[in-house]
């Protein structure tokens, strides 16, 4: 057992107390401060090796300037948004324990909804994400009754305040601090928030104010034409993929920060994700390697699986999710994505960009219908529309519409 593990409960408390008092020195956030001080690392009499290791890491972590600065930022936010000294509770406001329970309930709802959206492949700037954002804001609003200048209804102020809370709370060092405390004391670790928090923050940036979901984006999708477009686009994009040499995989692409290999992996993921939705088993392994050692086979196999799923599951005639998005529209989105990324791949490898000429114009029209009302903000899938040069082909105009610099 290490020397740190042999410390008494009082000595362990002193380490955390000194750390908290130093990090929050001069910040008037009594509730936040008391919450930190209440969480003492009380090792059991016979700690497990995991608990000893967690305490050793925790004792080192509290000496890190990064953690101290992060806790101070959170305390300053608490001081800025909390109730002023002497201010009476709002009418109908619950007691502190009730407020904490409400906050935990809402946080869990946000985590579940965010993870479900990621698993379902719902982009945060998709029009279908707006009702989900509205649901989360409506659940969160009552928890703000005790803060300074609480938002009264869903709107830019409320969404901006919630986004600020999420961005302030996104502190990896603080998350690790609480995980270690739970391990030391034998309590269940809090659920990880990184995936759901990132999605929810991006959705709030993309939807800064409420708007009615334009269901016309769901209309006018002909399943037969969509399937025809998918076949045409994957035929031409597949030929581009087949022409990519191993030495090309490290080339940069118009997708900022993505190499050709990363772009190809994403394109395979698009097919696999849509296939899993058709099979009622949405995937959650977006960050995995979907390409392996043979990018040509990975793409071709994903196309074959998608065609089989689209035509064999009834996906093109079904609806999905709480907002009943037509399956044909989900496939149409994949067509748009693959054609746009085909343009990226063509540009990266020096190939012609005139892909799938039989369906390029209708795919551009579908992109305008699906994404026309989606905000182009930070966190969006696409940048702001760029002007296409005179005489540009349909795929070049699609790239410009989705925020690429046309050639």
Average pLDDT, consecutive stretches of 10 residues, N- to C-terminus, the chain (407 residues) = 64 86 90 81 81 88 91 87 53 55 86 83 78 93 82 92 88 88 83 83 88 68 93 98 97 93 96 91 82 97 97 89 80 95 97 96 92 66 84 95 83
What is the structure's pLDDT at 215?
Answer: 66
What is the structure's pLDDT at 287?
Answer: 77
What is the structure's pLDDT at 214?
Answer: 63
What is the structure's pLDDT at 378?
Answer: 60
Cβ burial 58-70 (10 Å sphere, 16+ → b, else e): bbebbeeeebbeb
216-401 is a CATH 1.20.120.450 domain: yes
* Cα–Cα dist 204/376, whole Å: 12
What is the structure's pLDDT at 42?
Answer: 74
Q: What are the φ/ψ torsions at residue 320 (nearest 5 degrees)?
A: -135, 150
What is the structure's pLDDT at 248?
Answer: 97
Predicted TM-score of the model (pTM):
0.65
3-state secondary structure of 331: helix
Residue pair 229/240 in contact by the 8 Å Cβ criterion: no
Domain positions in the chain: 9-82+95-206, 216-401
What is the structure's pLDDT at 84?
Answer: 47
Burial class (CB in 10 A: 0-12, 13-18, 19+), 9: exposed
**Residue whose C-alpha is closest to residue 126's, from 376, 306, 385, 343:** 376
């Amino acid at each position: 057992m290490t020397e740190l593990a042999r410390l008494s409960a009082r000595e362990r408390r002193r380490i955390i107390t000194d750390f908290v008092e130093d990090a929050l020195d001069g910040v008037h956030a009594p509730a936040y401060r008391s919450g930190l001080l209440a969480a003492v690392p009380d090792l059991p009499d016979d700690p497990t090796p995991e608990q000893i290791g967690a305490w050793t890491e925790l004792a080192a972590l509290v000496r890190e300037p990064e953690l101290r600065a992060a806790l101070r930022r959170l305390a300053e936010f608490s001081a800025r948004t909390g109730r002023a000294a002497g201010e009476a509770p709002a009418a109908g406001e619950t007691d502190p324990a009730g407020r904490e329970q409400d906050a935990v309930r809402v946080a869990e709802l946000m985590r579940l909804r965010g993870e479900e959206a990621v698993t379902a492949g719902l982009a945060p700037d998709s029009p279908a994400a707006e009702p989900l954002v509205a649901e989360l804001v409506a659940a969160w609003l009552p928890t703000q009754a005790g803060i300074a200048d609480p938002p009264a209804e869903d709107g830019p102020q409320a969404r901006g305040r919630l986004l600020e809370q999420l961005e302030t709370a996104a502190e990896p060092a603080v998350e690790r601090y609480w995980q270690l405390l739970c391990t030391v004391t034998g309590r269940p670790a809090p659920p990880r928030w990184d995936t759901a928090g990132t999605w929810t923050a991006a959705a709030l940036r993309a939807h800064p104010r409420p708007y009615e979901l334009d269901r016309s984006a769901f209309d006018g999708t002909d399943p037969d034409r969509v399937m025809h477009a998918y076949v045409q686009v994957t035929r031409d994009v597949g030929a581009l993929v087949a022409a990519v040499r191993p030495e090309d995989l490290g080339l940069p692409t118009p997708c900022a920060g993505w190499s050709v290999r990363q772009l190809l992996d994403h394109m395979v993921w698009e097919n696999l994700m849509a296939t899993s939705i058709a099979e009622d088993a949405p995937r959650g392994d977006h960050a995995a390697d979907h390409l392996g050692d043979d990018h040509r086979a990975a793409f071709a196999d994903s196309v074959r699986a998608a065609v089989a799923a689209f035509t064999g599951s009834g996906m093109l005639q079904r609806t999905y999710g709480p907002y009943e998005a037509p399956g044909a529209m989900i496939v149409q989105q994949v067509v748009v994505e693959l054609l746009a990324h085909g343009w990226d791949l063509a540009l990266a490898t020096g190939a012609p960009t005139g892909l799938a000429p039989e369906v390029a114009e209708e795919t551009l029209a579908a992109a305008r219908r699906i994404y026309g009302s989606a905000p182009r903000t930070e966190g969006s899938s696409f940048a702001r529309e760029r002007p296409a040069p005179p005489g540009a082909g349909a795929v070049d105009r699609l790239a410009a519409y989705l925020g690429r610099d046309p050639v």
